Amino acid sequence: MTVALVAGFMTLLDVSIVNVALPSIRADLGLSSSELQWVLSGYALTFGLLLVPAGRFGDARGRRNVFIAGLAVFTLASAAAGLATGPTWLVIARLVQGAAAGVVNPQVSGLIQQLFEPKERGRPFGLLGATIGISTAVGPLLGGLLIQVFGAAEGWRWIFYINVPIGIAAIILGLRWIPARAPEEKERESLDPVGVVLLGAAVILLLLPLVQEREWHGPAKWLLVVAAAAVGAGFVAWERRHRGTPVVDLSLFRKRSYGLGALIGLFYFGGFTSIFFTYTLLLQSGLHYSALEAGLAITPFALGSAAASAIGGRQVNRYGHPLVVTGLILVVAGLAGTVLALHLVPGHGGGWAAAFPLLIAGLGSGLVISPNQTLTLAEVPVRRAGSAGAVLQTGQRIGTAVGIAAVGSVFFNRLAGHGDWAAAFRTSLWVTIAFVVIALIAATVDVLTADSRIHATTGETG
């Protein structure tokens, strides 16, 4: 369990640890704004695309070996990213790194389902939720510390190099400690390559006009969004007719708890992870914070998320879906407070003035990620554990990629038009809040329909 969580932490950390190093990377390698976004969105994209087939592969062939293989590729790709000499090299390394992370992560949730009985999963899923929340939030602080120690020119490389010794240790310990699944439990299932290609094409078509928005002039690029919808519809049609085992088991979405939980994850991660992308750019390039100061300015969110994740994991079975709604309300309130703080306290003090509202948002985040993970997977059969967790995380990673692209597009366009970093961030933060509000609406619907089902069941019993 510990080895799996460490590996999960490492792969998820790389979603956010790069944020604080973006100004250094941009200066050293000469990245454009779109290349800067691809460093983040590209990682999230391949991360998300590999989750479902990797979850399926782990279900069918055994999670231990798939976990170890993915971890080995991730470690090698991390070393390659640290050695990058240009934008193309770095983006390709990040794409491979994200793909490997996509192989590793569904095995983590699958191993929890495999090793623990349903009533025992609250605590390990709570730890997994804490791992997700803390890794995403603590990344900027760790990245800032590494840049402070090694300098701007070399420090950004160490945010990748640090994965190498950890990855090697995790591989060795994983081979020793993670139990292999008994042969009689294994199934042979189709990996549905057509479904994988269709899903990947739909997501790429959606991302391209967002990430390349400033480089591709004219409205024609938005036709790719229509194409993405068409390919997505084709993907759903194919999955419904596929005779073998589909890449996405659509029957999972017949359970309201799973469908709404996946929707919450999609939109929440679209907003949640984009915060750190634009905020670290504001702090360093706009308010002239050092990388370490920028990381420290985000620490209140990390502390709040860590504290609330531990509470959420223990209390989810008691309070259920209302706990997620409460968390989302706190996130919206905290982010709105951040906008207000930056407006009232302009200049260098703005980052510190936003510390308290970010703490509130972090507390809310901790009550969202872990409980939503547990509630969404609560009714999933063990034999579908890896693929179900993979579909859930695919939504989260796709949300991350699209959120970073959409929020980044608004941020850079506003910045190009007015040259005001604070105004650009405040405008982009409203887009972030919109993502979270949609997640809140879905969570509220989940609570209301759950109450209706309970009352209906009670009436029938009476």
Give the Cα separation of 105 and 44 in Å (integer): 12
Q: Identify which of 228, 179, 234 has the alpha carbon closest to the alpha carbon of residue 205.
A: 228
Cα→Cα distances 286→40, 278, 326, Å: 20, 11, 33
Q: Which residues of the chain have pLDDT under 70?
A: 1, 115, 117-122, 126, 129-130, 132-133, 136-137, 181-191, 243-245, 382-387, 450-462
pLDDT at 455: 46
- CB burial string 141-166: b at 16+ within 10 A, e below: bbbbbbbeeeebeebbbbbbbbbeeb
- Angstrom distance (rounded) from CA 202 to CA 118: 34
DSSP state of 86: S
Residue with tokens 């933060």: 429
* DSSP 8-state assignment for residue 18: T
Task: Retrieve residue 234's tokens.
Answer: 């084709």
Closest CA to 75 of 176, 160, 174, 172: 160
**pTM score over 0.85:** no
Residue with tokens 């939030």: 137
Q: Over the range 85-111, which residues count as b (16 or more CB within 10 Å of their CB) and which as e? A: eebeebbebbbbbbbbbbbbbbbbbbb
For the beta carbon of residue 311, count every other beta carbon within 10 angstroms: 17
Residue in 10, 137, 6, 157 with CA at minimum distance from that of residue 75: 10
Task: From 102, 87, 100, 74, select the one nearest 160 (Cα to Cα).
Answer: 74
CB count in 10 Å sphere of residue 424: 23
Q: In this predicted structure, what is the pLDDT of residue 458?
A: 41
Helical ranges in 273-384 per DSSP H: 274-281, 291-319, 321-344, 350-353, 355-377
Tokens 């094409």, residue located: 201
**Cβ(399)–Cβ(339) below 8 Å:** no
Residue 460: per-residue pLDDT: 46
